[in-house]
A and B are shown apart, each in its own frame.
Chain A
Amino acid sequence: MIKEVRLPEVGENIESGEVVKVLVSIGEEIKLEQPVVEVETDKAIFEVPSTEAGIVKEILIKEGEEIKVNGVIIKVETAESKIEEKPEPAKPEAKEKTKPEETSEADKMEKAEKQPESEKQDKTEDRIPEQIAPASPSVRRLARELGVDLQNVTGTGSGDRITDEDVKAYAKGIIISKQTAGAALITQQKMPDFSAYGEVEIKPFSKVRRITAETLSYAWNTVPHVTQFDKADITELEEFRQKHKGKIEEAGGKLTLTAFLIKVAATALKVHPQFNASVDMARGEIIYKKYYHIGVAVDTDRGLLVPVIRDVDKKSVARLAVELTEISKKARDKKIMPDELQGGNFTVSNLGGIAGANFTPIVYWPQVAILGVGRSTLEPVYIDGRFKPRLMMPLGLSYDHRIIDGADGARFIKWVVDALEDPFLLALED
C-alpha cells in the first residue's frame, strides 16, 4: 500500500517551512521515525521523522522548496499490501486528463458513473443541527461573505449563539492583525543607489533575519514603549555564583547570571501579574497567563533566537542553569524545534557577557515586557558614610504602556533589583 509522509504540525501559527535537505532517496528502505527531510521554519531547523516504514517510491519536494504543514513529503510503499491501492479522490484537473477519448455514448456514461468519487459531494445530507454553528441564516451569510469560519467564533448570545456583532468583531480582529503586520513593510521609501557612493554587496534576507525584521517592526509599530532604567548591586550574588558554579558544572550546566535573572523575572511576574499578560486590542481584552515561561535572547550565527524555558517558577536555579545551557546550545547548533521558540511570557536579554551598559530592548510582542541587562562594572557606591567598590548591573525594563503604567514599571524594576541584591527574597514568594 502506498502511504504518504506529511509535514506534521510543528508549532502554533507555523504554516510552512523550507526544505533544507532531503535525507532519503527513491528506492531506499526507510524505518519508522527515520529522518526524511530537514526543514527550516520561521526560526528553527529540524528533521522530520517518517511516519511510515517501507520503500521510498516518490519524493515530492526539492531542496529550497517551500512545504506547507500537512503537505506530502514522500510516498512510501509499505509492506502490508501492494494490491489494494485505494483510488485517490480525483481533482477536477486530473479528471480532465484521464477522461476517455473517443468511446460510444453508452460506454462514456458508464465510465462517468464508475469514476471515483470526486470532491463534489452533497454535504448537507449528513449534517445534524448540533454540528451547525449556532447562528441565524443571516449571520451565517455574513460570515461567509466576510470569510469567517463560524467554528472559530465564540458566540456571546444565549446558548452560545453567534450574533452578527460576534462575527464582525472576529473579522475586525483578523483585518487589524493583517494590516499592522503588513504596514511596516509596505511603507518603505525608495532606496537610494548606494553603489553610486562605493562598492556594495547585496544579499537576500535569511529566514531568521526576515522574521526578526518583521516581528520587531510589528512590535515597534504596535507597542507604545517605555524603558525604565536601574542598577542592581550584585556583589554578593556574584560571590555566591563563583562559589557554586563548580557544582553546577558537574551537572552539565553553567551557572550564569542569566539563570538567576530568569528566576528573578518569573517571580517578579507572579508578584506583578499585569506583566504576565497580553493585550488583545481587537476584542478589547487583556489575557492574564497563569504559567511562567521565560524567553532568553540567544546570539547565534544565524541571528537572534529566543528559546523559551517553561515553568521557570517551578524550577530551581541549578536546574534552570542546566536547561539554559542545553537550550542555548540547541539554538546555536540549529537543533531547536519551533515549539521551543514559542509560548514565552517575558524575555530576558543579557548582553552583559559582551559589553555596554544601558540599552532599550524592544518588547517581544505579544509579550508586554522585556528586561535588558548590560555589562556589570565595579563602581564606587556611597554606603554608610563612605564609598565602597560594588559590582553594579545595569538594567533596562521596556514595557507596553497600554496596560502597564509608569508606576507599575518602577515597582517591577525595583522588585527585580531588590531580588538580585537579596536573593533570599525569592524564597519568600511561592
Chain B
Amino acid sequence: MADKKQLIILGAGPGGYAAAFYAADIGMDVTLIDPEINPGGVCLYRGCIPSKTLLHIAKVINESEKAAEWGVKFSKREINIDKIREWKGSVVSKLTGGLGHLSKQRKINYIQGRGSFESSDKLKVEKADGSTEMLSFENIIIATGSHPTKISSLSIDSDRFIYSSGALDLKDIPRTMLVIGGGYIGLELGTVYAALGSKVSVVEMMPGLLPGADRDLVAVLAKRANKMFESIYLNTTAEGIVETKNGLKVTFEGKDIKEREQEFEKVLMAVGRQPNSKNFGLENTKVQINHKGFIKIDDKRQTDDPAIYAIGDVAGEPMLAHKASHEGRVAVEAINGQKAAFDPGAIPAVVFTDPEIAWCGLTESEAKEKGVDYQVAKFPWGASGRAATLGRNDGVTKLLIDPKTERILGVGIAGPGAGELIAEGVLAIEMAAKVEDLSLTIHPHPTLSETIMESADVFFGTSTHIYRPKRK
C-alpha cells in the first residue's frame, strides 16, 4: 500500500520551493522532490544566481576601466578563472544550502530524486540513492521547469558547443565566442565573457536585439553592446556548424553578413527555453498539454486533472522565477480551499545586461499591436543628477499612461539599476496608481528612482530638470 501524501511538489526551483515552504507554513504535510541535493532549481544552480554573480564581476571590471577617466587608474587586471568559479560556486551553495536548511526547519520531506506519474494519483520516485518508492497523493504541484531549446540541425557533439549551463560552468575564457540568440540569456552571458576578455559575437535572426522589448529601451543597450561585442549580426541565422582543429566553423545566412563562414573557439546556443512537460508520465494522467508544450492550467493553476496543479516555466509564459513563486503560492492556497487566483496586474521582466533593461505592464509594441490607447511620458537620464555622478547619462525611464483615466499602464526603464527601479512601477500598476500619484510621491535625492517621479512630471509638462512644456 502506497504512502498517501497530502501534498507533493515535483521540482524544487523558485516555484516549487516557494510553494512547498508556504504550504508547510500553513500547516500542510509537504513532500518536495528534486534531483538536486538541495532546493533551488535552475534559477539557483544554473540560471539567475550564478549569472548575476558573474555579471557583477563583469560590472566591476567595466567600471574599473571606466574609472581611468575619473582619475583612478588600476593596474592591468588579472583574471583567475578558478577563483571566479569558486566564488560563484560558493554563492550558489550558500543559497541552496540555506534553502535546504529552511526546508528542514519546516519539516518538509525532501526527496532527492525524480518522480514520474503512474496514474492520476500515483507517483513513482526514483531516488538519487538508486531505490524507488511509490507515493500516492491527495494533491500534487508540477514545477518541473524548462530546459534550453535545442536546434537539432545546429547541435554538435563538442566541448566547444555549449548551452547556458555550460557557459556558467566557466571552464575557460575562449579567445572568441559566438552567441546564437540575441535574447536576454545570450546577451547576459555574452556580457560576462566579453568582460572577462573574450571577443564575443552575437547572431540574431530578428531585426533587433531582445525581441519583444520596446525599441527605445533596447537602443540604450544596443549603443553599449556595439562597443562591448566584437560584432552583432541582425537579420542573420546560423545555418551550420562544423568542428575544425581550432574551433567551430559557423556558416551564416543573411543579407547583411559579409563573412559567411567564421571560426569561433566556442559557440553558445541561447535561443530560448522549452517546458519540461515530457518523459515523466503525464500521459498517464488527465493533464493536457498545449501545442507549445506547456501544461494547460486555469486561474487556480489547476490542470485538467483535478488533483494536479502546475506552476512556473512548465505552465506557460513568461518563464520567469518570480512568476513561478507567485503561482506556487496561488496553487497552495487553491489546494487549501481558498478562493485563490493568479491575477497579477503586471509581471516585471529584467535583462541584467549593462545597462539593465526592465519593464512591466503594457509595452509600447504590445499597445500598438492590440490597439490600446496610451500616452508616453519619458525622462532621459541625461537630466538625472544621480546618473551624472555615476558617469552614466545614457539611460531612460518612461511611463505608459491611459489618457482617459491617467492610470499607469506600463513602465519601461533602461540604465544601471533598472531591475531594482522597476519594482516601483509594478507596485504602481498593481495599486492602479494614477500618474499624478507618482508625481506627488516624494522620491529620495539624489537617486535614479527620481526618474520615475520626473517622468510623471513630464506628463504634466512640469518636470523640474527638463524643460518641455506640455503641448496644448
**How far does the alpha carbon of A124 sit from the alpha carbon of B338 in the complex, in Å?**
20
Known contacts A113-B291, A129-B410; decide if A96 and B286 are in contact (CB<8 Å). Answer: yes
Inter-subunit contact B405/A134 (CB<8 Å): yes
Known contacts A92-B286, A119-B298, A130-B409; decide if A147 and B361 are in contact (CB<8 Å). Answer: no
**Beta-carbon contacts under 8 Å, B264-305 to A:** 278, 282-283, 286, 288-291, 293-294, 296-299, 302-304
Q: Does A125 contact B (CB under 8 A)?
A: yes
**How far does the alpha carbon of A145 sit from the alpha carbon of B339 in the complex, in Å?**
6
Distance in angstroms from A95 CB to nearest chain B CB is 7
Inter-subunit contact B304/A120 (CB<8 Å): yes
**Beta-carbon contacts under 8 Å, B323-364 to A:** 338-347, 361-362
**Beta-carbon contacts under 8 Å, A105-153 to B:** 105, 108-109, 112-113, 115, 117-125, 128-130, 132, 134-137, 140, 144-145, 147
**How far does the alpha carbon of A120 sit from the alpha carbon of B402 in the complex, in Å?**
30
**How far does the alpha carbon of A123 sit from the alpha carbon of B299 in the complex, in Å?**
7
Q: Does B88 contact A (CB under 8 A)?
A: no
Which one of B78-86, B128-136, B426-434 is at the A interface? Answer: B426-434
Most chain A CB neighbours (cut-off 10 Å) among B286, B347, B437: B286
Q: Number of residues in A with C-beta < 8 Å to the partner?
A: 36
Q: Does A236 contact B (CB under 8 A)?
A: no
Q: Does A161 contact B (CB under 8 A)?
A: yes
Residues of A within 8 A of B289 (CB): 112-113
Known contacts A129-B407, A136-B430; decide if A108 and B283 are in contact (CB<8 Å). Answer: yes
Inter-subunit contact B345/A129 (CB<8 Å): yes
**How far does the alpha carbon of A388 sit from the alpha carbon of B347 in the complex, in Å?**
86
Inter-subunit contact B304/A95 (CB<8 Å): yes
Inter-subunit contact B432/A161 (CB<8 Å): yes
Q: Does A158 contact B (CB under 8 A)?
A: yes
Inter-subunit contact A128/B366 (CB<8 Å): yes
Q: Does A63 contact B (CB under 8 A)?
A: no
Inter-subunit contact B409/A129 (CB<8 Å): yes
Inter-subunit contact B407/A134 (CB<8 Å): yes
Interface magnitude class on chain B: 35 or more
**How far does the alpha carbon of A125 sit from the alpha carbon of B344 in the complex, in Å?**
11
Inter-subunit contact A118/B296 (CB<8 Å): yes
**How far does the alpha carbon of A13 sit from the alpha carbon of B409 in the complex, in Å?**
35
Known contacts A118-B304, A145-B339; decide if A136 and B431 are in contact (CB<8 Å). Answer: yes
Q: Does B370 contact A (CB under 8 A)?
A: yes
Residues of A within 8 A of B298 (CB): 119-121, 123
**How far does the alpha carbon of A161 sit from the alpha carbon of B289 in the complex, in Å?**
37
**How far does the alpha carbon of A118 sit from the alpha carbon of B304 in the complex, in Å?**
8
Q: Does B372 contact A (CB under 8 A)?
A: yes
Inter-subunit contact A122/B430 (CB<8 Å): no
Residues of A within 8 A of B410 (CB): 129
Inter-subunit contact A159/B406 (CB<8 Å): yes
Inter-subunit contact B315/A129 (CB<8 Å): no
Q: B372: which of A118, A125, A130, A140 is its contact (CB, 8 Å)?
A: A130
Residues of A within 8 A of B278 (CB): 109
Q: Does B317 contact A (CB under 8 A)?
A: yes
Inter-subunit contact A95/B345 (CB<8 Å): no
Contact with A along B420-442 (1 / 0, CB 8 A): 00000000011110101100000
Inter-subunit contact B296/A158 (CB<8 Å): no
Residues of A within 8 A of B346 (CB): 129
Distance in angstroms from A101 CB to nearest chain B CB is 13
Q: Does B15 contact A (CB under 8 A)?
A: no
Known contacts A128-B370, A145-B338; decide if A120 and B303 are in contact (CB<8 Å). Answer: yes
Residues of chain A touching chain B, judged by Cβ–Cβ distance below 8 Å, are 92, 95-96, 99, 105, 108-109, 112-113, 115, 117-125, 128-130, 132, 134-137, 140, 144-145, 147, 158-162
Residues of chain B touching chain A, judged by Cβ–Cβ distance below 8 Å, are 278, 282-283, 286, 288-291, 293-294, 296-299, 302-304, 306, 315-317, 338-347, 361-362, 366-367, 370, 372, 402, 405-410, 429-432, 434, 436-437
In the complex, 5 of the A-B residue pairs with CB atoms within 8 angstroms, ordered by the A residue number, are A95-B288, A129-B410, A132-B343, A137-B343, A145-B339
Known: A109-B283, A124-B344, A136-B431. 5 other contacts (CB 8 A): A122-B297, A137-B430, A144-B340, A158-B434, A159-B405
